[in-house]
A and B are shown apart, each in its own frame.
Chain A
Amino acid sequence: MSDDLSELHDELRSVARDLLARSGSGTAVAHGTAPASADWGLLARSGWTGLEVPDALAGSGATFAEVGVILEEMGRAATVSPYLGTVVLAAGALGLVGTSPLRDDLLQGIAAGELVVAVALADGALDHVDAVPPFRLEAGPEGPRVHGRADFVPDAADASDLLLVAKGLDGDPVLVHVPISTPGLDVVDQPVVDATRRLAAVSAVGVVPGEGAVLAFAGDPAHAAARLFDRAALAVACDSLGLARAMLDATVAYVAQRRQFDRAIGSFQAVKHACADMLVGITVVEELVRAATEAFVADTPGAAVAVSMAKARSSEVAVEVAGAAMQLHGGIGYTWEGGIHVHLKRAALDRSLFGSPTAHRRRVAAPHLARAGAAPG
């Protein structure tokens, strides 16, 4: 990464941290109360909703590298927002299809903060990392119909529009745009222990796509669909990294001031070493996430494996770090009011979202298996 870009990211990060902290989400709210969503209009005015939207469509033509910075900060603040569904996945998916009036309208709407869109790209009830389209187009006498189901679709319950990844009539994956009120489309909220995420089950039974609503991926459709899944997995890796950093910061601040046995508990080796382990874990994940982001943005042949490395380790480290944070905060860490649980629950959800660590490690190992047939030298 160039120094200029690095500086730009630092600045973006600092603005994002400040703004998200002020937007109020992520802080513990009374039990039984839904945590507040970040101010969507404010995010749009800050230019975050159009980061990856082309300049010509009122976006800023940036890349996932910049979006990743926002995602890390949203993880830090445990932000409640449809950013993942709308900006990361929907704008990202639309960036993979050929240009069309519908596509351009949607991108413009997203950039302007006027649309909340979700993408049903994987069935979260399964643990697939190979981008199997959860929907399919079926030919019929009155034209193609969409069938299928995807559970745990981020932000679908809040969206006005859905993008369904479907197996097209020729077998290649396509993107189907469906307004939320379309007959045959059913979106059911799936509340989870982590109250900062909004997930929903999306099912389609004989949904008739509108005129021009079936969007073909540009270039190799299978590769595009795979890239969309990698984008989702990498987004979660960024979120996990950010929340782990927040937990380390909170823990270091706490153990430096909490006194037991007439000294700050951070002066005990058991506590100090646990904090050191948190930092080592996070530092390693930072490397993996940076490498994956660079590979993903450049679309290198090794990008998928790099993303899997980042997702597997980041989401595991986040659970470990948030767990250690709860432990080192002692009793206060176990209270609702203390708020550590917000990050621990989000970390546990992140771990299972868009591929478990085990599934991603399998993808890391796959090239070795494929090569095993060829005898060395």
Chain B
Amino acid sequence: MTGGGTTDLDPFRASVRDWCREHVPRTWRAAQTGVGDDEFVAFQQEWFAELRRAGWAVPHWPAEWGGGMTTAEQVVLYQELAAADAPRLVLAFVSIHHAASTLLAAGTDEQRRRHLPAILDGEIWCQGFSEPEAGSDLAALRATARREGDAYVVNGQKVWASGALHSDWCLLLVRTDPEAPKRKGISYLLMDMRSPGLDVRPITQATGEAHFCEIFMDDVVVPVANLVGVENAGWAVAQQTLGAERGMTMLELSERLGNAGFTWLVDACRAPRRDGQRPIDDPVVQDRLAALEIEVTALRGLCRDVVERHETGTVGPADASIVKLYYSEVLQRLMDFGAEVGGLPVHTVLQKPISSGWESGAWVLDFISSWEWTIPGGSSEIQRSIIGERGLGLPREPVAGS
């Protein structure tokens, strides 16, 4: 299914395509290479506002909050945005996905009214889940919230909070009952990032960029009104939030990999070297390129299929893990091959554009940043265990926290 088979979507597809032709900045990749944080934030906010004017910033939200697009239309939208190589909503990602799905699933009416319209106006959120000692074992988190009257007093450290430096709010997991078993003593809070007692420090990544941050919390006061769901039942809310990043966002990423990412790989294989030889003239290169095309094609199909399964309620218990694992590893293999087939000349590309996905044509850096997929959000090792246990019903590993 490419969407082309359903004729009533054709006019919508054409309108998105026309819109892209007019609105996607032609040179955004060059303009977003080597720029500072301020320019990145300004560009992201501008692009978000542009999409909002078109009615496409939050297509997956319920109609009453400004969304309401059908799943089939969303698929078309993301396919066309990827085909046009539009910038990606990097800064607003947590806001429009995790924050929104948390508020919609478990927030109070007041919390929704306070934040959902604000997100549409550009309110930025980050996610304060991981900690130095709680990565794959997220439930081992140690940051604490102590109840004092109408507020929680929060202490501890979070890590890998993407975009925290630019965030207004934080989705925060904290331990509210230190005596309870790991998953039973966790609460979910909404933390104002302008609160006193917060210190946000960017982490320089392996690529040299610094999108992720550490958040240090020293007696930060969070009103009890900012509790999401029930005290000590935050783990279940977090599971819903984590689940929200599968489905459509994976479809968007797979479309981007299949469009710009794969196109550039073909270009790299076709580019003549100084002696006129092209890598693609080598049958070995043809074979590996074709093998990757098969994988990327399968990935895109799988993502569309899983989106439909979400729609029809037939999504399997391991589907999200299969998609995440497969995307991560195809991404890594593709970038690895790009770095190899490009030879030494591609090693001279020292910067990649921000505001993109994990494909930029800067092969060596893209290869390095592919570990941004195989490590976080449940590492590939964790995903394989989930697939074996939840997907295939194999016995659980002997230990594992409860």
Q: Do A and B come from one complex?
A: yes
Given contacts A261-B401, A327-B380, contact A125 B375 (CB under 8 A): no
CB distance from A80 to the nearest CB of B (A): 16
Are the C-beta atoms of A193 and B365 separated by less than 8 Å?
Answer: yes
Contacts of B336 in A (CB 8 A): 319
Is A286 part of the contact surface with B, judged by Cβ < 8 Å?
no
Contacts of B208 in A (CB 8 A): 31-32, 336
Are the C-beta atoms of A260 and B350 separated by less than 8 Å?
Answer: no
The closest CB in chain A to the CB of B284 belongs to A358
Contacts of B367 in A (CB 8 A): 348
Contacts of A335 in B (CB 8 A): 203-206
Are the C-beta atoms of B206 and A336 separated by less than 8 Å?
Answer: yes
Binds B, one of A209-217, A243-251, A338-346: A338-346
Contacts of A348 in B (CB 8 A): 339, 347, 364, 367
The closest CB in chain B to the CB of A260 belongs to B137
Is A41 part of the contact surface with B, judged by Cβ < 8 Å?
no
How many of chain B's residues touch chain A, expressed as a range?
35 or more
What sequence of 0s and 1s flags, for each residue 149-186 of chain B, a beta carbon within 8 Å of any chain A beta carbon? 00000000001100000000000000000000000000
CB distance from B285 to the nearest CB of A (A): 8
CB distance from A15 to the nearest CB of B (A): 31
Are the C-beta atoms of B204 and A358 separated by less than 8 Å?
Answer: no
Contacts of A333 in B (CB 8 A): 206, 371, 375
What sequence of 0s and 1s flags, for each residue 380-402 of chain B, a beta carbon within 8 Å of any chain A beta carbon? 11001100000000000101110
A125–B344 alpha-carbon span in the complex (Å): 6
The closest CB in chain A to the CB of B370 belongs to A323
Is A190 part of the contact surface with B, judged by Cβ < 8 Å?
yes
* A contact residues, total (Cβ < 8 Å): 49
Are the C-beta atoms of A192 and B348 separated by less than 8 Å?
Answer: yes
Are the C-beta atoms of A331 and B159 separated by less than 8 Å?
Answer: yes
Contacts of B282 in A (CB 8 A): 358
Is B313 part of the contact surface with A, judged by Cβ < 8 Å?
no
Is B240 part of the contact surface with A, judged by Cβ < 8 Å?
no
Are the C-beta atoms of B381 and A268 separated by less than 8 Å?
Answer: yes
Is B379 part of the contact surface with A, judged by Cβ < 8 Å?
yes
Is B148 part of the contact surface with A, judged by Cβ < 8 Å?
no
Are the C-beta atoms of B375 and A124 separated by less than 8 Å?
Answer: no
Main secondary structure of the interface of A (DSSP, over half): mixed
From the candidates A151, A274, A334, A349, name the one contacting B205 in the complex (CB within 8 A): A334
From the candidates A260, A352, A357, name the one contacting B135 in the complex (CB within 8 A): A260
Is B130 part of the contact surface with A, judged by Cβ < 8 Å?
yes
Are the C-beta atoms of B399 and A263 separated by less than 8 Å?
Answer: yes
From the candidates A32, A270, A356, name the one contacting B385 in the complex (CB within 8 A): A270
CB distance from B277 to the nearest CB of A (A): 7
CB distance from B183 to the nearest CB of A (A): 12
Contacts of A31 in B (CB 8 A): 204, 208
Is A171 part of the contact surface with B, judged by Cβ < 8 Å?
no
A31–B205 alpha-carbon span in the complex (Å): 9
A327–B50 alpha-carbon span in the complex (Å): 38
Are the C-beta atoms of B274 and A125 separated by less than 8 Å?
Answer: yes
Are the C-beta atoms of A341 and B368 separated by less than 8 Å?
Answer: yes
A196–B275 alpha-carbon span in the complex (Å): 28
Is A161 part of the contact surface with B, judged by Cβ < 8 Å?
no
What sequence of 0s and 1s flags, for each residue 185-214 of chain B, a beta carbon within 8 Å of any chain A beta carbon? 000000000000000000111111000000
Is A152 part of the contact surface with B, judged by Cβ < 8 Å?
yes
Is A191 part of the contact surface with B, judged by Cβ < 8 Å?
yes
Is B62 part of the contact surface with A, judged by Cβ < 8 Å?
no
Is B136 part of the contact surface with A, judged by Cβ < 8 Å?
yes
The closest CB in chain A to the CB of B342 belongs to A352
Are the C-beta atoms of A192 and B347 separated by less than 8 Å?
Answer: yes
Is A142 part of the contact surface with B, judged by Cβ < 8 Å?
no
Is B10 part of the contact surface with A, judged by Cβ < 8 Å?
no
Are the C-beta atoms of A152 and B397 separated by less than 8 Å?
Answer: no
- Identify the B interface with A (CB < 8 A): 130, 133-137, 140, 159-160, 203-208, 273-275, 277, 282, 284-285, 332, 336, 339-340, 343-345, 347-350, 364-365, 367-368, 371-372, 374-376, 379-381, 384-385, 397, 399-401
- Supply 8 A–B pairs (Cβ within 8 Å), ascending by A: A125-B345, A127-B273, A262-B401, A323-B332, A323-B371, A330-B375, A345-B364, A353-B344
